[in-house]
Amino acid sequence: MLEDALHYFPVERTLHWTNWRATAPRGLPGTLMFCRSVPVRYPESGPEAAKGEDTAAIAQLQAHGGFRAMPGAPHLYVYVSHGANTWDASHHSMLARELSISQSLLRRREGQLREGVRPFEFGPGEVAVRGYNGVALTFDLAPAGETNAPGGSSPR
């Protein structure tokens, strides 16, 4: 499971680097992977069968020990909050607000972030990279083959 992930809001054109370390699952539940031989059962009925099934599985894994989330690779998962996700828009806004890293960390990690998002298609125009305390920088993430603005980012 990934401890860090990117959360993208296409309507606002904002990107958030979220860190899940301080949450109960200690990582983004939707990125959970484990071996079939591990004795974990996903909920088959009740509210956790529709929402929260990964979190229930994580709790089982944590109870057995040997569970570990992978930190520092947010580009391996870009979650797009488009309005028709399983969880509603207010839930995703709360995650971005509560789990985003700070502007200063984003600026220090700009090179890593820029390299990580290079393969992704965000469409033409700027994307604001936001920390919990505001916009840290902007990227002009033009599709491959199109020209980016000089420098590609502007700290704010």
- For residue 40, what pLDDT is reported? 84
Q: How many domains does the chain have?
A: 1
Task: Give the Cα separation of 141 and 153 in Å (integer).
Answer: 9
10 Å CB burial of residue 5 (0-12, 13-18, 19+) is buried
Q: Which amino acid is at 133?
A: N
Backbone φ and ψ for 155, nearest 5 degrees, come out as -60, 145
N residues, the chain: 156
- For residue 39, what pLDDT is reported? 81
Beta carbons within 10 angstroms of residue 68's beta carbon = 11
- For residue 65, what pLDDT is reported? 81
Segments forming the whole domain that contains residue 94: 4-155
Tell me the CA distances in angstroms from 130 to 25, 32, 52, 69, 99, one per residue in order: 23, 25, 26, 23, 11
- For residue 102, what pLDDT is reported? 97
| Structural tokens at position 20 | 């899940």
Tell if the pTM clears 0.75, that is, is over it: yes
Reduced to 3 states, what is the DSSP secondary structure of residue 54? helix
Residue-level pLDDT, tens digit, the chain, 156 residues: 999 999 999 999 999 999 999 998 999 988 988 888 888 888 788 877 777 777 888 888 888 887 889 999 999 999 998 877 777 788 888 999 999 999 999 999 999 999 999 999 888 889 999 999 999 999 886 655 554 433 343 333
